A and B are shown apart, each in its own frame.
Chain A
Amino acid sequence: MSDLRPMFDRIAGDANAAAPTVLDADVARGRHAVHVRRTRILGAGLGLALLAGGVAFGVGQSGSAVQSTVEAAPIVQTPTLAFVSYTGEQPAGFNVAIVPDGWSVDAVDEYSLTIVPPGLNTHPQSFTGKLLVSLESLDATETPGDRVDVGGQEGFLVRGYGGGDAGQLRWTDAKGNRMYVQWPLDAKWSDREMADFAAGITVTKAAKPTRG
């Protein structure tokens, strides 16, 4: 369909070279990502070291490595942000009972609700680093996940699906709404915390599913 090309060419936008500041920003994002990755690796290494120390200590105390490992486990638990009751004005399409402490409602319409950490100020339609609530897309394909209980309903939770840096939780609520929550893995929320957050979501009649 050769006549599509000139139309594509127009809506693809201008072809001006990227400004130096744009290139600087690309480099800065890359360096930040490297920093985050190294911090994670360092944290994991420290956790393993602590675990090993706990095991060694426990073996000396009781002579039982199995028992010591169990005792050492809490040391490497990942710290999490606490969820608190949401007391602000409820968004139109999706009401929430709890939100991460310090986070705030970013953008809301009938299709989605986003909640952001302090200082994150990106385009409303960019979901990177945000907690996202929406109805399941009509185009969604089945994805794998671990079963979790979401307020008495069966949900499926997956982390890093497709190599991404987000977690996803899907469930059907008591009213039959197919629900979707997405969050940044950086936040290190547990499965239980996400299931509790999800269980506190109420869909209003204003909410609409998406496609595309």
Chain B
Amino acid sequence: MDHTRRDDEFRAYVQKRRVELVRTATLLAAGDRHAGEDLVQTTLTRLYLRWPKVREQTRDAYVRRALVNAALDERRRRTRHPAVSLETCPTAELPDRPTHEGPTDQLDEPLRSALAALPARMRAAVVLLHWLDLDPEAAGVLMGCRPGTVKSQASRGVAKLRECLAPHTAPGAPLQKEDSR
């Protein structure tokens, strides 16, 4: 495949998918937009390298898997978050610099902190099931583990998020229970 054709096809694909990729990656990186962008750049570079071999029908699946792999890749996520015990909820602190753009809410920073405190695999399970709306089987394929493991990781992750966000919500407006998935 010549470079021009590859470039054109790749560019068209990225134009359609990039925004949602960055948004998903940002969540996988606990709300850190810069880290999310870094994950997407890594993912897209891998896609470009494999472009002639990745069929159009499986392209989205390949990209999702590459993105999750990048997010779970320890060498990228280390040092991003200070050590926080899962037994306690982190205290949300004001960031040194803006980490996002757009509308904000009083729960945004606590949510970022709570997401950051989750182990990466647990965070990925939560994002795949509760943001991308994947079923546990599909999420398990992306994470390289069994559906039951994804479900339990997501369940524990959501429970932890609920616990950490509860003090920040208004009285009488508790966070909803997790659905039965």
Contact B73 A164 (CB under 8 A): yes
Contact B44 A13 (CB under 8 A): no
For the complex formed, measure the closest distance between the CB of B87 and the CB atoms of chain A, giving whole angstroms.
12
**Given contacts A11-B100, A111-B79, A210-B78, is CB(A29)–CB(B41) below 8 Å?**
yes
Taking the complex as formed, is A127 at the interface, i.e. its CB lies under 8 A from any CB of chain B?
A: yes
Taking the complex as formed, is B67 at the interface, i.e. its CB lies under 8 A from any CB of chain A?
A: no
Compute how far the CA of A138 lies from the CA of B26 in the bound complex, rounded to whole angstroms.
Answer: 22
From B23, B36, B38, B158, A15 is in contact (CB under 8 Å) with B23
Contact B111 A7 (CB under 8 A): yes
Q: Which residues from A are CB-within-8-Å of B108? A: 7, 10-11
Stretch touching chain A among B56-64, B115-123, B135-143? B115-123
Interface size grouping (class) on chain B:
35 or more
For the complex formed, measure the closest distance between the CB of A171 and the CB atoms of chain B, giving whole angstroms.
16
Q: Which residues from B are CB-within-8-Å of A132? A: 75, 78-79
Q: Which residues from A are CB-within-8-Å of B26? A: 11-13
Other than A26-B41, A208-B82, give 20 A-B pairs with Cβ distance below 8 A.
A2-B179, A4-B126, A4-B158, A7-B108, A8-B27, A8-B127, A10-B105, A13-B22, A14-B101, A15-B20, A26-B48, A29-B41, A29-B44, A30-B10, A34-B49, A111-B82, A112-B78, A140-B74, A210-B80, A212-B118
A residues apposed to B, CB below 8 Å: 1-5, 7-8, 10-18, 22-23, 26-27, 29-31, 33-34, 37, 109, 111-112, 122-123, 125-128, 132, 134, 137-141, 162-164, 166, 168, 180, 182, 208-212
- 25 A–B contact pairs at CB < 8 A? A1-B162, A2-B176, A3-B175, A4-B126, A4-B175, A5-B131, A7-B108, A11-B100, A11-B108, A12-B24, A12-B26, A13-B22, A16-B19, A18-B14, A23-B15, A23-B18, A29-B45, A29-B48, A33-B48, A34-B49, A123-B38, A125-B35, A137-B78, A208-B82, A212-B116
